[in-house]
Amino acid sequence: MSVPSATPYEAKTRLGRITNFVDSRVSGSAMVKEFGRKVFPDHWSFMFGEVALYCFVILLMTGTFLTFFFDPSMAETHYQGSYVPLRGVEMSVAYESSLNISFDVRGGLFMRQVHHWSALLFVAAVSVHMLRVFFTGAFRKPRELNWVVGGVLLILSLAAGFTGYSLPDDLLSGNGLRIIDGVIKSVPVVGTYISFFLFGGEFPGTAIIGRLYMLHILLVPALILLMIAIHLFMVVIHKHTQFRGPGRTNNNVVGYPVGPVYAAKAGGFFFIVFGVIAIIAGFFTINPIWNYGPYDPSPVSAGTQPDWYIGWVDGALRLMPGYLGGFPLEWVIPFPWGDNTLSLNVLLPALGPAGLVFTLLFTWPWIEAWLTKDKRVHNLLDRPRNAPYRTAVGVAGVVFYCVMWAAASSDLIATHFHVSLNDVTYWLRVLFFVGPILAFIIARRIALALQRKDREIVLHGVESGRIVRLPHGEYIEVHEPLDEYKRYRLVDFESYKALPAQPDANGKVSGKEKRRAKLSRFFFEDRVAPVTPSELENAHHHESPAEVEAKADDSASIEQR
């Protein structure tokens, strides 16, 4: 029940009348008031999420253009277009229309190139963004759910990439689909049925491209849009995290206001991302389908590789041995009604590593909170070195991923470096298990070492490069203490201690709690504490009197450099 105010507002200018019209109907003022000067912290690593968002916008624009010319039909046709080498060749209409987009629609090739490069960059940006969020601890309370939404977005971006990759119905993507078909058939009990339902009969059938097309242009992008909306909505609720630093606390946000600086930078950045993709698309050919030819189940080229983001699963498929010590991992199980086959050699690598990675990814915020018993709100980010346990876990995960990723190129590694393909595979099999463990140990040691170096800098200052001769002939280098702002960056962090098992309400220590304590000791036993003011005070007192003297008496010094 709103009563018109006594003196209704009258806009003076034309623009004023338009904004007044909008405002009095949808309350634009409230939005401007809320967002106009909203503060966003600034850091280069916060841009990866933006890159992902902008790639998605570019994908929507170029993808819409491509749908006007693409025909997802698998009907047979004979090519009569302007690419001479393929004239008269029998192919599907989908492949023909992809060729036409490339050769007979002006700018069509460029659109395809921009679309494909953006897709590759989209998945990369989402991945790197998630790594940033992981390594800085931005997933902690209250942002756990947004981390999960981000994980869903990663899976959706993979789905979008894969469904799109298959659409041109060329030889390379057709082989990719065939591999998917083989993997699906390895699923126990229902695999064969899923394969027949997906392909509308036997592989390859005449239905799959049309079905993938619908998923690619409607369902998956709609879900991605929905998830992006939820993702950004939560960012507004939570406000952005910020790195620790002078003036920054867990209860404030320091940065630039949306209007004008942040909007200008973020908006300008969209054009930069678009520009960079346009350069890449102009100069570097991606997916030259005319070289591959139409899909045919018989030929295949050596060095076949999927788009980069599917590589790790493909690599896992390559690493898995079919036989283990002479026993086939394709296990024929004798049931009373007859034999059934469980293809562990396909099922395990296809689902195992991906399942492990995504399970850990989705549950990590809760695992970490359980381990540290830290249920507080965290709006401040950690530098990766200041959370050695988490950084080590993250690096182990990255190495695990990269071993599989390298395995997807095992044949190319072998041919480029002139080594035996079998040896490459054997080594990668070992690294699959050993690599993450080594990575964990090394990354943790490096993080701890960097923390010690930070302590050293805080306590004893930075090397000034000035060599000073003392009255008794000794040469020393003068160390300059940090100013309080730089120092605060190095001392403001939290370092968890190993937390022994705590009794519960009944005074009992449960087995789960004991395991937690064990894991906590493993993670937090080695730690570097931040420098305290009294430590710094002591360090100053203990500095050798001679050095202090030298600092006071610069006239006795010999400057070098």
Segment interacting with another protein (CB under 8 A) among 131-139, 328-336, 353-361, 510-518: 328-336
Q: Using the rule CB under 8 A, which residue among 19, 29, 304, 415 binds another protein? A: 304
Q: Using the rule CB under 8 A, which residue among 88, 338, 511, 545 binds another protein? A: 338
Nearer to another protein, 40 or 135 (CB): 40
Does the protein bind another protein through residue 288 (CB under 8 A)?
no
Q: Is the dihedral of CA 225, 231, 232, 233 positive or negative?
A: positive
Does the protein bind another protein through residue 113 (CB under 8 A)?
yes
Question: In this structure, are residues 557 and 485 in contact, taking their beta carbons and an 8 Å threshold?
Answer: no
Q: Is the dihedral of CA 505, 510, 512, 515 positive or negative?
A: positive
The pair of three-digit structure tokens given for residue 230, joined into one six-digit string:
């939820």
Which residues, 28 to 67, sit near another protein by CB under 8 A? 37-39
Does the protein bind another protein through residue 314 (CB under 8 A)?
yes
Fill in the amino acid letter for 103: F
In whole angstroms, how close is the CB of 308 to another protein at the nearest point?
A: 16
Which residues, 78 to 107, sit near another protein by CB under 8 A? 82, 103-107
Segment interacting with another protein (CB under 8 A) among 26-34, 345-353, 391-399, 510-518: 345-353
Task: Please give, one letter per residue, the 3-state secondary structure of 324-392.
Answer: ECCEECEEEEEECCEEEEEEHHHHHHHHHHHHHHHHHHHHHHHHHHHHHCCCCCCCEECCHHHCHHHHH
First to last CA, the chain: 78
> Which of 71, 77, 62 has its CA nearest to residue 108?
62
In whole angstroms, how close is the CB of 172 to another protein at the nearest point?
A: 11
Which residues, 472 to 501, sit near another protein by CB under 8 A? 484-485, 487-488, 491-492, 494-497, 499
Segment interacting with another protein (CB under 8 A) among 14-22, 63-71, 120-128, 238-246: 238-246
**Residues facing residue 77 across a β-bridge:** 91
Which x/- pattern, by CB under 8 A, does the window 160-199 give for another protein? ---------------x--xx-xxx-xxxxxxxxx-xxxxx
Q: Using the rule CB under 8 A, which residue among 237, 367, 437, 441 binds another protein? A: 237
Torsions phi, psi for 294 (to 5 deg)? -70, 165
Segment interacting with another protein (CB under 8 A) among 131-139, 281-289, 438-446, 547-555: 281-289
Nearer to another protein, 318 or 460 (CB): 318
Question: In this structure, are residues 312 and 401 in contact, taking their beta carbons and an 8 Å threshold?
Answer: yes
Does the protein bind another protein through residue 137 (CB under 8 A)?
no
Q: Using the rule CB under 8 A, which residue among 271, 433, 475, 522 binds another protein? A: 271
| Burial label, 315 (beta-carbon count in 10 A; 0-12, 13-18, 19+) | buried
Segment interacting with another protein (CB under 8 A) among 155-163, 213-221, 263-271, 441-449: 263-271
The count of other CB atoms within 10 Å of the CB of residue 246 is 13
Which residues, 196 to 235, sit near another protein by CB under 8 A? 196-205, 207
Place of tokens 């908006």: 267
Residues 6+ apart with CB under 8 A from 409: 305, 311, 315
Question: In this structure, are residues 59 and 66 in contact, taking their beta carbons and an 8 Å threshold?
Answer: no
Distance CA 252, CA 235 (A): 15
Segment interacting with another protein (CB under 8 A) among 220-228, 332-340, 469-477, 504-512: 332-340
> Which of 156, 92, 106 has its CA nearest to residue 127?
156
In whole angstroms, how close is the CB of 69 to another protein at the nearest point?
A: 13
